[in-house]
């Protein structure tokens, strides 16, 4: 149990385009999901907290107009990187929080912006 | 300030040897503590967690961790390491409210034959 999926697992796009990443909790409902960014050989950096049916809460320094988050259902949250640039290239990981507080992580999405 | 410190950036152990990965935390409220493992290019897998009760918790893959409140520590241990344990290990602390986790910088474990 407690499986979280992400799609796509990797994506390459041109500079200026937008990319959408999906995060799904497959066998449990998650009122809260989280989006992280991870640079090589570094820890996870929390970008935003996504709550079902309400606006996401962004961490300081994260541009909410650039990283659009939607949490339309209890099993799906999406992250859209708008007008992507090479500096947005990174490994993006989502997690879903089950009722007792444990976060289960997705397998990650490798984004490369050319 | 809330923080997690993993003092060892990289550890190398021989296969079959015992392992201990250190984790110290600073957290204002009752901590929820976690250990996750990450293989290259993958997401994080939960090894074990501590919410309350018995301070020695058992996890998957033969790992265990002990919560020591007086030392603000939650060290991860395994009695006999396998080559497949080579990965990055992250300690994290959070509270039930909000659910945000604070991660340590990670410890990279290498296993030599």
Beta strands in chain A (DSSP E): 4-7, 10-13, 19-25, 32-38, 44-51, 57-58, 67-73, 76-81, 90-97, 103-105, 109-113
Contact A108 B42 (CB under 8 A): yes
Cα(B54)–Cα(B42) distance, integer angstroms:
31
B51 CB neighbours in chain A (<8 A) are 100-101
Q: What is the pLDDT along chain A (114 residues), one digit of tens a residue?
A: 689 999 999 999 999 999 999 999 999 999 899 999 999 889 999 999 998 888 899 999 999 999 999 998 999 999 999 999 999 999 999 999 988 888 999 999 999 999
What are B58-79's pLDDT values in tens digits? 999 999 999 999 999 999 999 9
B46 CB neighbours in chain A (<8 A) are 2, 102, 104-105
The CB density around residue A61, as the number of other CB atoms within 10 Å, is 7
Provide CB contacts within 8 A for B77, sequence distance 6+: B18, B19, B20, B21, B63, B64, B65, B66
Q: How far is B38 from chain A (nearest CA, A)?
A: 10
What are B12-46's pLDDT values in tens digits? 999 999 999 999 999 988 899 999 999 988 999 99
């Amino acid at each position: 149990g407690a499986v979280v999926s992400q799609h796509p697992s990797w994506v390459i796009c041109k500079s200026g385009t937008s990319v959408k990443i999906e995060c799904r909790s497959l066998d449990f409902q998650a009122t809260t999901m989280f989006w992280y960014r991870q640079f090589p050989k570094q820890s996870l950096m929390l970008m935003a907290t996504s709550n079902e049916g309400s606006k996401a809460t962004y961490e300081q320094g994260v541009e909410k107009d650039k990283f659009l988050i939607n949490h339309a259902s209890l099993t799906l949250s999406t992250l859209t990187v708008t007008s992507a640039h090479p500096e947005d290239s990174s490994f993006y990981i989502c997690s879903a929080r089950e009722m007792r507080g444990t976060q289960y992580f997705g397998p990650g999405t490798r984004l490369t912006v050319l | 300030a809330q923080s997690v410190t993993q003092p060892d950036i990289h550890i190398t152990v021989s296969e079959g040897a015992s392992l201990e990965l250190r984790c110290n935390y600073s957290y204002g409220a009752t901590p929820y503590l976690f250990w996750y493992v990450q293989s290259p290019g993958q997401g994080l897998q939960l090894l074990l967690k501590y919410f309350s009760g018995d301070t020695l918790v058992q996890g998957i893959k033969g790992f265990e961790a002990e919560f020591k409140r007086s030392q603000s520590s939650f060290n991860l241990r395994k009695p006999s390491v396998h080559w497949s344990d080579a990965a990055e290990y992250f300690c994290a602390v959070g509270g039930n409210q909000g659910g945000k986790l604070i991660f340590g910088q990670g410890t990279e474990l290498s296993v030599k034959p």
